[in-house]
Amino acid sequence: MTFAKQTASILAIVAVSATSAAARDNVQVAGSSTVLPYASIVAQLFGENTDFPTPVIESGGSSAGLKRFCEGVGENTLDVANASRRIRDREIAACAENGVTGIIEVRIGYDGIVFASQRQGPGFTAFTPADIFNALGAKVLKDGAITDNPHRTWAEANADLPQVEIAAFIPGTKHGTREVFEEKVLLVGCEATGALDAMIASGMSRDAAEDACLDVRQDGRSVDIDGDYTETLARIDANPEGVGVFGLAFYENNADRLKVATMGGVAPTTETISSGQYPVSRPLYFYLKKAHIGVIPGLKDYAQFFVHDQIAGPGGPLANYGLVADPDLAKTRARIEGEVTMDSGI
Amino acid sequence: MTDMNPDKARRSASLHRPDARTRRRNAAEKRFRACGLAAILLGLFFLLVLVATILRNGAPAFTRTVLEIELTLSPAQVDAAEAEVFKTRAYAQLFIAALQDQLETRGLDVAFDAGALERIVGQPGGTIRAHFQANPGQIGEPVVFELAASSRVDGYFNGRVSRATLQDSRFLQASDLDLVDALADAGILRRAFNLTFLTGADSGVDNPGGAGIGAALVGSVYMMFVVLALALPIGIAASIHLEEFAPKNRVTDLIEVTISNLAAVPSIVFGILGLAVFIQVLHLPQSAPLVGGLVLTLMTLPTIIISTRAALKAVPPSVRDAALGVGASQMQAVFHHVLPLAMPGILTGTIIGLAQALGETAPLLLIGMVGFVARGYPEGVVAGFTEPNSAMPAQIYTWAARADAGFYDKAWGGIIVLLVFLLTMNLIAILLRRRFERRW
């Protein structure tokens, strides 16, 4: 039974080395699938340019990443959580409950959210938040009254838009992108069309009315995409009349297949996003545990490398891929250098 | 009736001339056979379509567009590059400057600038730095590099990008294609076999030319080894005990039902279990093939136990009786006679279980093996179990979700590698089965 003996001895070696190798030598990251491409670029460069091993970056969404991040401190927990939105107060509280205090916030840049359709499809070239709200809101203002959304075609929502059936593919609720879509498009559109005022006038409180503005119609004309942008792209490919929500970088990479629409008359480019003219954009973040600095080799170096001017700054590989550089990058660098945590109030 | 027409009765009783009922039965038989044949042909047709699609879409992954250029770096240049934070960019710029020099001396009749060259060359810095780190003696000597061109140039060569579809962007501009054509004529740009794809690790999303499935393949091999080393002995031991030794009572019935149910449990459940037990309680490393293998072992065990029990059941009882009759102990009867005869069936079951485990992504999602895991090859055989790594199906899934269409080819190419790996595993199983096969 030499095979059994060999197997047993190999397994024993593995078990011993697994316990002795518990000192993890790589940075472990998880979180937003929007930040993942940028993080993967940085991770590869970090591995190529330093003596540290390449960090492991998992995806799964901002909320899922932050939840795992807040599970505790120790080598079998995450070092860094990527997020396409800011960490929420209740997430900080959940972190604190599990002993995760001293979170360092790092803003890496901005990401634009664009509306795009098939290149050869109908002429979706200009949207306003009001158009999107009228087409996709659950309840809209029609003939002076709040009703369930009656619009079947884009032209019914706005006569300037093509006369085709409404079919929109928007990010699902587990994506950080959804929140930006709701706040910067639906809510703005709700106000612009007067639906918000009408809801308040009908006796709703302001908060309830704002919540009602964020509801998306459930009759199948608006489809939540829980996967990646590639899934949205596949849906657009299959549906010539579909309109999808993408990240700017994803659109630019697939500009030969997609046609982007302006929002409120502004075309999405890195320039219009960084100047704030293009309205639908959001900052991207990652969060790291101060307690892990010095324990996990290369953690602080990874953070410093990420926001180095040559990496995340203008003209760097991240900007080249589609990230809109953060003008305040120097401040972020100083914060990492001094290991300034969020609770220190700076 | 027969009395009234004896002639007719005799005729219908003839074996040479079938009567109406026989004809109907024969027709039914023919229809049934035709249905069976049609089913097989349909299956073959779909298999053919599938294989053709995979081969057509995956073939581009095995070649890539490379720039072949001779580069000489002086020690001073290397030192200056090493002093930077972003060293690989410094190397890339040295490379572009050298390329520009060489093109100018050659006298290309197309106007170009460094910006256009930068858009064409892709991400050469990492490869160049790695080469000089590994061979410091070659600093100062001319070295011929074969470096992957950028994703869109690669697309132009394999037909994914054309002048008609190219949108001017910072990735590549239509005017750059003239330069690309000129470089191709000069023999600097050409298609070459993509060894990096077979041996390399994953690369960042802006560098499809540098991505490879080799590291993920190693991860899969390690996981399969863990599964084989654990699931096979545990599975066989459990089946032998249940089949040959355990008394038939309520407890064993319950165990039997549980095993059958476990075989039908979705694999993601085992992933959650693995996360909770192996990582959070036992503190095994995250993203490690060891944990992946353990999770897949849990998933594979029921399959192996069920098929092993079926194989043991199929051994005729006379073999056991004869062995016991000539004085063998029960253990001797099992190990000397029953198990060898059941071995082909056990191997078949094991290979089905392994194949299932090889293609599994869902449980790996939860233990951190899906995402960007580009560690490269493990340092040493034992470290391979504990160092972070991905697995082939996870790697394919990751590539398919990336924005750059260059990775889409890679995903298809990865499927080919995965299938070849699977076929090799099956081949080994068939060879082993041939060796173990005994007739009685």
pLDDT tens profile A279-307: 898 899 999 999 999 999 999 999 999 99
Q: For residue A104, give the 3-state DSSP assignment.
A: strand
Last residue of a domain, one of A230, A247, A281: A281
Question: Distance of alpha carbon B123 from its chain centroid, rounded?
Answer: 26
Distance, in Å, from the CA atom of B282 to the CA atom of B269, rounded to the nearest integer, reads: 18
Question: To which residue do tokens 């032998």 refer?
Answer: B240
The DSSP H or E segment spanning B70 is strand B63-72
In a domain, A225, yes or no: yes
- Domain span at residue A77 reads 25-110+283-344
Does A1 score more than 50 pLDDT?
A: no
- The model's confidence at residue A21, banded by pLDDT at 50, 70 and 90, is very low
Structure tokens, A167:
């079919």
First to last CA, chain A: 66
Q: Which residues of B touch A18 (CB under 8 A)?
A: 284-285, 288, 290, 385-386
Q: Which residues of A touch B230 (CB under 8 A)?
A: 11
Does A150 score more than 50 pLDDT?
A: yes
In a domain, A2, yes or no: no
Q: In this structure, are A141 and A277 located in the same domain?
A: yes
Q: What is the CATH number of the domain that holds A324?
A: 3.40.190.10
Distance, in Å, from the CA atom of B202 to the CA atom of B123, rounded to the nearest integer, reads: 14
Question: Distance of alpha carbon B55 from its chain centroid, rounded?
Answer: 14
Distance, in Å, from the CA atom of B78 to the CA atom of B129, rounded to the nearest integer, reads: 9
d(CA B182, nearest CA chain A) in Å: 24
Question: Distance of alpha carbon A101 from its chain centroid, rounded?
Answer: 24
In a domain, A9, yes or no: no
In a domain, A326, yes or no: yes
Q: Which residues of A touch B402 (CB under 8 A)?
A: 37, 230
- Which residue has better confidence, A46 or A271? A46
Q: Other CB atoms closer than 10 Å to residue A113's CB: what's the count?
A: 25
Structural domain total, chain A? 2
pTM for this prediction: 0.86
Residues paired with B63 in a beta bridge:
B193
Question: To which residue do tokens 């918000």 refer?
Answer: A196
Question: Distance of alpha carbon B406 from its chain centroid, rounded?
Answer: 19
Does A13 score more than 80 pLDDT?
A: no
pLDDT digits (tens, 9 = 90+) for A80-120: 999 988 999 999 999 999 999 899 999 999 999 999 999 88
Whether A40 contacts chain B with CB within 8 A: yes
Under CATH, which number does the domain B214-436 receive? 1.10.3720.10
Structure tokens, B190:
């050409």
Length of chain B: 440
Last residue of a domain, one of A250, A281, A312: A281
pLDDT on residue A42: 95
Q: In this structure, are A311 and A324 located in the same domain?
A: yes
DSSP letter at A86 equals P
Largest CA distance in chain B: 118
In a domain, A104, yes or no: yes
In a domain, A244, yes or no: yes
The secondary structure of A271-330 as a DSSP string is HHHHTT-S--EEEEEEEEEGGGBTTBTTHHHHHHHHT-HHHHSTTSHHHHHTPBPPTTHH
Domain limits, chain B: 60-193, 214-436
pLDDT on residue A20: 45
Nearest to B340 by CA among B208, B437, B269: B437
Does A141 score more than 90 pLDDT?
A: no
Distance, in Å, from the CA atom of A115 to the CA atom of A169, rounded to the nearest integer, reads: 10
Last residue of a domain, one of A281, A302, A321: A281
Strand order of the β-sheet with B189-193 is B142-148, B63-72, B189-193
Q: In this structure, are A275 and A290 located in the same domain?
A: no
The DSSP H or E segment spanning A109 is strand A103-118
Inspect the interface and report whether the beta carbons of A49 and B285 lie closer than 8 Å.
Answer: no
Q: In this structure, are A318 and A332 located in the same domain?
A: yes
Distance, in Å, from the CA atom of A175 to the CA atom of A245, rounded to the nearest integer, reads: 12
Q: In this structure, are A263 and A288 located in the same domain?
A: no
d(CA A176, nearest CA chain B) in Å: 17
Q: In this structure, are A51 and A134 located in the same domain?
A: no
In a domain, A175, yes or no: yes
pLDDT digits (tens, 9 = 90+) for B390-439: 999 999 999 998 888 889 889 999 999 999 999 999 898 888 888 877 66
Of B169, B202, B372, the CB nearest to A255: B169
